[in-house]
């Protein structure tokens, strides 16, 4: 899958683990997705894929998802998602429920690299 890197992210993040977090054990350590911690967001976005119907977003599985779609999800989570302590399954469910309705309002936040 085309992964995104730290430099691709369009928002500012903390890159230090908070108390109780271990950036080397993201899947085991984080039942909840911290949208302020860069290593958690980057890992989450890079583990997204398309379900069998190519219309449903799945986590840690699925078919290839483009970098553009991963950055769209970043925007969705930073600008539109309001939960304070979202579990990863809840986040994926919310993405699927809101994908189409938010897609028309998504704007590129910084130019694509040449």
pLDDT digits (tens, 9 = 90+) for 1-27: 579 999 999 999 999 876 655 555 555
Contact status, residue 35 vs residue 77, Cβ threshold 8 Å: yes
How confident is the model over 36-51, as a mean pLDDT?
94
14-28, 44-58, 78-92: segment of lowest average pLDDT: 14-28
- Give pLDDT, residue 114: 40
Is 109's pLDDT higher than 60?
no
Query: Per-residue confidence at 45, pLDDT binned at 50, 70, 90?
Result: very high
**Across all residues in the chain, what is the average pLDDT?**
84
- The pTM score is 0.82
Which are the contacts of 43, defined by CB distance < 8 A and separation ≥ 6?
Answer: 26, 27
Helix (H) or strand (E) holding 18: none
Is 29's pLDDT higher than 50?
no
pLDDT, greater one: 15 or 30: 15
Rounded Cα distance between 9 and 67, Å, is 10
């Amino acid at each position: 899958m085309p992964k995104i890197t730290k430099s691709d992210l369009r928002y500012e993040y903390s890159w230090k683990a908070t108390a109780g977090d271990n950036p080397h054990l993201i899947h085991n350590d984080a039942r909840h997705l911290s949208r302020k911690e860069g290593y958690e967001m980057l890992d989450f976005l890079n583990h997204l894929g398309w379900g069998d119907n190519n219309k449903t977003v799945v986590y840690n599985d699925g078919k290839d998802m483009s970098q553009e779609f991963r950055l769209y999800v970043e925007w969705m989570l930073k600008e539109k998602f309001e939960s304070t302590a979202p579990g990863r399954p809840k986040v994926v469910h919310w993405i699927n429920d809101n994908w189409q309705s938010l897609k028309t309002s998504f704007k590129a936040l910084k130019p694509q690299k040449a």
